[in-house]
Amino acid sequence: MMMWIAGLIGGLGLVCMISRKTMLGLLIGIQVLILGSTMMFVLAGISSGMRVQGYIFGLFITLGGMVQLVVGYALAIRLFFLKKRISMEELQALKQ
Amino acid sequence: MMGWVFAVITLSAVLMATFENQMRRAILALWVAGIGVGAMYLTVGAEFLAIIQWIVSTLGAISFIFFSVMFGEYHAPVARGSAHTKFLVVLALILGISFAAIVGLGSRELPESAMNLVTQDSDLGTLGRKLTQEHLLSLEVLALTLFLVLIGGGVIARSEGSES
C-alpha cells in the first residue's frame, strides 16, 4: 500500500508539471515527482531486502533533484532577464 | 499507525501543491509534503535519509519563496492552461493513476516488521562506508555534477552586460 502512495505522489507530480504554466510551477511538479520516485526506491529497497542500497539510491535522487532545481532557477533568471516574465510559452526565447 | 498518519498528511499536501492556485500555498504544501515524506522515512528506519529530506525540503521551500517573490508570483494566482491543457491534465491524471497501479501491483508487499524496525546496517557509519567503498564512482559523478551545476548556473544566469 505504501508503494501505491509513492506511485500516487509521482503521478500527481506529473499532473502538476503539465497543468502549471510557469517555470516555478513546473519546478514544483518536478520536486513532487522526485519525492515520489525517492520514496519508491527506499521502499523497494526495504521490501527486497536491500535496505542500504535503497537508501543510497534515495540519497542520490534527492541530491539530483537539487541539481535540477538549481538549473531551473538559472533558466528562470535568464528568462526573466530577457522577457520580464517566466511563462513556459516564452521558454523558446532562450534558443535565440 | 504513525506511518499511515504521515502518509495521509503527505498525500493531502501533494494534492494541494498540485491543484492549489496560489503560489505561496503551493510552496507551503510542497514543504509539508517533503516533511511528511521525511517522517515516513523515519517510520521505516531511514533516519539519515529523513534528515536529508527535511533539510532539502526546507531549503527548497525557502528558495521557492525567494524566487517567487523575485519574479512577482508569490501573491499572484498560478496561471493555468487552456482547454487543450485541461485535456492533458486529465490524461496525466490517468497516466499518474496507472503509474501508481503499476508500481503498487508490481512491487512486493512491505513487511510489517519494516515499519518500525531500525536495523544495524542502516546507521550512518555503515552508509558512509557503503558510499565510499562500493559507490565511490557514483559519489564522484554526483559531486562533479553539483560542481558543474554551480558553475553552469552562474553562467546561464549572468546578465548581458557581463559578456563583454
- Comparing B53 with B77, the larger pLDDT belongs to B53
Backbone angles phi, psi at A20, to 5 degrees: -80, 150
Q: Which residues contact B66 (CB under 8 A, 6 or more apart)?
A: none
> From the candidates A1, A4, A5, A22, which should be mutated to test the interface with B, based on the most B CB atoms within 10 A?
A5
**Does B28 score more than 90 pLDDT?**
yes
For residues B78 and A86, the answer to whether their CB atoms sit within 8 Å is no
d(CA A88, CA A45): 36
Count other C-beta atoms under 10 Å from residue B98's C-beta: 12
Average pLDDT for A50-64: 87
* Interface contact flag, A56 B145, Cβ < 8 Å: no
**Selected residues 57-86 of chain A with any CB under 8 Å from a CB in chain B:** 58-60, 62-67, 69-71, 73-78, 80-81, 85-86
Write down the residue that cell numbers 521558454 correspond to.
Answer: A91
Size of interface A-B (CB pairs under 8 A): 222
CA distance A90 to chain B (A): 14
| Torsion angle defined by CA atoms of residues B153, B156, B158 and B163, in that order, rounded to the nearest 10 degrees | 130
Return the CATH number at B65.
1.20.120.1200
CA distance A70 to chain B (A): 7
- Domain spans of chain A? 2-95
Lowest mean pLDDT among A5-9, B127-131, B156-160: B156-160
**Does B110 score more than 80 pLDDT?**
no
Cell numbers placing A56: 543510497
State ipTM: 0.89
d(CA A71, CA A68): 5
Average pLDDT for B48-58: 90
What are the tens digits of pLDDT across the range A63-93? 889 888 988 888 888 888 887 777 777 777 7
Cell numbers placing B144: 562533479
Give the number of domains in chain B: 1
Question: What proportion of chain B, given as a percentage, has pLDDT over 70?
Answer: 80
Average pLDDT for B15-38: 89
Question: Residue B100's pLDDT is what?
Answer: 73
Residue B112, domain extent: 2-163
* Interface contact flag, A56 B131, Cβ < 8 Å: yes
Q: Which CATH architecture has domain A2-95?
A: Orthogonal Bundle (1.10)
For B34, the closest chain A residue by CA position comes to A35
Q: What is the mean pLDDT of chain A?
A: 84
Q: What is the mean pLDDT of chain B?
A: 80
Lowest mean pLDDT among A16-25, B100-109, B136-145: B100-109
